[in-house]
């Protein structure tokens, strides 16, 4: 079978034997896998969770159909369409025991430390089955939508952490794919107005297409002033930073209302820093700053139900689709500002 595997330097297509499963594992025929910014970062810089041995199949945002189940596996059956939460916790620590495998200090990551979804057949590791990482898809969800369960669930996690309430003014900084998915989740969650800040013109247009109420360019006027004007001087109730820029984090805090909540959603690249720590702004305005990464199984399940509601224009986030054979082209496309989510189909 065909697989796209990382050898420590490059992501290359290779022929591999179809994985054999033991009695506690299951085999999935992958239908669609989405390219994440993390995949691009791994190709460019590597990742601390890479095993360093042999090649690893990347891809942690994917969906498929179960085609074989070991006789020691309960709950899963052949023919089921599923998604897999990619972080497999140790199952023993405080975070795992509280249902937060994504925060386990020793989690193993499907698509980084364990072979992932950029391949025709994916073997579900037994620990992933035992820990409940495999979730059946409700009916009526297209594979390309299901493949976005993981990234969308991280938006759900961020907005839950911010306590987003009906009627909130929401500011989203960055209109890449994650900014756009945060935008649609905020609208779904009841935001009265969603304000998007973005410097790249193509992405400003995208934000408009996806229903942003205001699209601002922070290089024209200070963002804080623009947000104050829109919110009648109040500031945003919730601000989400979906751009990997230190300065954007500072702008987000200063654009946030008294008792507002800020989420640092995007990972900052190594060496990227915030120039100033706005201690007194936080102090006088009682602003809550949160950060989130990944999502729990509960977030995953709820996100699938939200997708199944059909109320998000999620399939429109997929701007490009390629067969797995054209992985190089797909990666190139995913790096371009004109694309949002790029899907490969093994």
- Positions in the binding site for Zn ion (CB under 5 A): 36, 38, 89-90, 93, 96, 104
Half-sphere exposure of 34 (CA within 13 A, CB side): 29
In the block, tokens 């996100």 appear at 303
- Whose Cβ is closer to Zn ion: residue 235's or residue 294's? 294
- Whose Cβ is closer to Zn ion: residue 6's or residue 214's? 6
Shortest CB 309 distance to Zn ion, Å: 22
- Whose Cβ is closer to Zn ion: residue 89's or residue 189's? 89
Shortest CB 51 distance to Zn ion, Å: 18
- Whose Cβ is closer to Zn ion: residue 148's or residue 212's? 148
Shortest CB 303 distance to Zn ion, Å: 13
- Whose Cβ is closer to Zn ion: residue 1's or residue 93's? 93
CB 76 within 8 A of CB 68: no
Shortest CB 92 distance to Zn ion, Å: 6
- Whose Cβ is closer to Zn ion: residue 38's or residue 113's? 38
Around Cβ 196, how many Cβ atoms within 10 Å? 28
Q: At what angle do helices 246-254 and 223-230 cross, to 10 degrees?
A: 40
Q: Which positions ≥6 away from 174 have C-beta within 8 Å? A: 197, 198, 241, 242, 243, 245, 248, 266
Q: What are phi and psi of 110, to 5 degrees?
A: -65, 130
CA distance 281 to 262: 13
Shortest CB 339 distance to Zn ion, Å: 15
Shortest CB 39 distance to Zn ion, Å: 7
Shortest CB 293 distance to Zn ion, Å: 10
**CA-based Rg of the chain, rounded to a whole angstrom?**
20
Strand 256-264 and strand 193-197: the pairing is unpaired
DSSP 151-218: HHHHHHHHHHHTT--TT-EEEEE--SHHHHHHHHHHHHTT-SEEEEE-S-HHHHHHHHHTT-SEEE-T
Shortest CB 185 distance to Zn ion, Å: 15
CA distance 149 to 185: 12
- Whose Cβ is closer to Zn ion: residue 50's or residue 90's? 90
- Whose Cβ is closer to Zn ion: residue 241's or residue 257's? 241
CB 322 within 8 A of CB 300: no
CA distance 40 to 207: 23
In the block, tokens 């189940």 appear at 69
């Amino acid at each position: 079978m065909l697989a796209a595997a990382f050898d420590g330097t490059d992501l290359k297509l290779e022929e591999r034997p179809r994985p054999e499963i033991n009695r506690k594992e299951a085999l999935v025929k992958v239908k669609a896998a989405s390219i994440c910014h993390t995949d691009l970062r791994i190709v460019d810089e590597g990742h601390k969770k890479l095993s360093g041995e042999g090649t690893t199949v990347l891809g942690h945002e994917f969906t498929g159909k179960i085609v074989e189940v070991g006789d020691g596996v309960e709950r899963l059956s052949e023919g089921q369409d599923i998604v897999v939460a990619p972080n497999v916790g140790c199952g023993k620590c405080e975070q795992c025991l509280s249902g937060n495998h994504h925060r386990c200090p020793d989690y193993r990551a499907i698509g980084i430390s364990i072979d992932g979804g950029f391949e025709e057949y994916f073997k579900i590791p037994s620990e992933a089955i035992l820990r409940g990482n495999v979730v059946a898809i409700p009916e009526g969800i297209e594979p390309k939508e299901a493949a976005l369960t993981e990234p969308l669930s991280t938006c759900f996690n961020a907005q839950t952490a911010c306590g987003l309430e009906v009627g909130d003014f929401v500011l989203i900084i960055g209109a890449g794919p994650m900014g756009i998915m945060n935008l649609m989740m905020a609208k779904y969650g009841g935001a009265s107005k969603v304000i998007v800040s973005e410097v790249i013109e193509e992405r400003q247009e995208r934000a408009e297409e996806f229903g942003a109420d205001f699209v601002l360019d922070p290089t024209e006027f200070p963002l804080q002033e623009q947000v104050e004007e829109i919110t009648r001087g109040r500031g945003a109730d919730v601000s989400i930073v979906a751009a990997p820029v230190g300065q954007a984090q500072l702008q987000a805090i200063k654009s946030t209302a008294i008792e507002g909540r800020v989420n640092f959603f995007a990972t900052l690249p190594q060496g990227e820093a915030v120039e100033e720590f706005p201690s007194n702004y936080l102090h006088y305005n009682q602003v809550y700053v949160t950060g989130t990464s990944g999502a729990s199984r509960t977030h995953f399940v709820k996100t699938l139900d939200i997708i199944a509601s059909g109320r998000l224009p999620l399939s429109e986030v997929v701007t490009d689709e390629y067969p797995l054979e054209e992985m190089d082209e797909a990666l190139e496309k995913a790096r371009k500002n004109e694309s949002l989510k790029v899907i490969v189909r093994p």
